[in-house]
Amino acid sequence: MRQARADEYAEFAAVRAGHLYRSACLLTAGDTHLAEDLVQETLGRLYVSWRRVARVENPAGYAQTVLMRTFLTHQRRRSSTERATDVLPDVPDDGAGRDMPLRLTLLEALARLPAKDRAVVVLRYWEDRSIEETAQAMNASSAAVRTRCVRALGRLRELLGEDLGEYARP
């Protein structure tokens, strides 16, 4: 990689790493070790194709898409039948102990969703992507994304209660 391009990549990676990591934490439902692994893999892939990525209209969005697909590939490899993680998620100590109940509740609920449903939730409600954009990132049809979204929301409602805010906050 030429120096100028290498610098450009390094700057991009430094700026985006935090956001990618947080997305990965939601995708993995709080498995921070796996989240780090996914982000490293994503950055590695971006490094390889940086020439092209740098020309894309929205490299940040593109990076998120690569993360999403890296996650889905990981899930597929791990088990084709596994539907959700049963392991209690790692929860970081934020020092002041704030928001812990909320985070636990949400992450626990996310952990109980099938991987693809979780991906839809993260893309739609944390990344704020449209159905179309979500479908594109996941290599799925809009109809499939809608179906997943309806199902995931239904499940989250069930797990968190209709009034999520009331339930989640202490």
Partner 1 sequence: MPFDQHGTPFEERLSADLRQAVDAFDTDRLALVTAGELRGRRRLLLRRRAAVAGGVASLALVGVGGALLGPGTGSSAHRDGASVGTGRHTATAAPTPSPVSGDQMIRTLEGLLPKGRFSKAEARGTNDRPGPYVQLVYDDGKGAAAISVGLGRVEPGSDEARATTECPRKVFVHYDACSTTRLTGGSVVMVLQGYEYPDRRVDTKWWSAELVTPEGHHVSVSEWNAAAEKGAPISRAEPPLSAAQLRKLAAAGAWRDAIDAMPPDTHKPAPQPTATADSVAIAPTLSSLLPKGVFKVSEDSGDDSGYGYLVLDDGKGKNFVQVNVQADMSDAEGDLFGSDAEVLADGTKVATHQVPSEKGGAGAVMWTVDTIRTDGRRVVIGELNSGAPNEDATRKTPALTMGQLREIALSPKWWL
Of residues 47 through 106, those in contact with partner 1 by CB under 8 A are 47-53, 55-57, 62, 65-66, 69, 73, 76-77, 92, 94, 98-99, 102-103, 106
CA 125 to chain centre: 10
The distance of closest approach from Cβ of residue 23 to partner 1 in the complex, given in angstroms and rounded to an integer, is 8
Using CB atoms within 10 Å of the CB of residue 43, give its burial: 0 to 12 exposed, 13 to 18 middle, 19+ buried.
Answer: buried
Compare residues 86 and 154 and give the one whose CB is closer to partner 1.
154
Tell me: does residue 18 bind partner 1 (CB under 8 A): yes
DSSP 40-54: HHHHHHHHHTHHHHT
- Residue 30: CB atoms within 10 A of its CB come to 23
Cβ at position 130, least distance to partner 1 in Å: 8
Provide the minimum distance between the beta carbon of 3 and partner 1 in the complex, in angstroms, as a whole number.
14
Smallest distance, partner 1 to C-beta of residue 160, A:
8
Q: Which of 67, 111, 120, 152 binds partner 1 (CB under 8 A)?
A: 152
Choose between 82 and 132: whose C-beta lies nearer to partner 1.
132
d(CA 52, CA 106): 36
Residue 48 phi/psi, 5° resolution? -60, -40
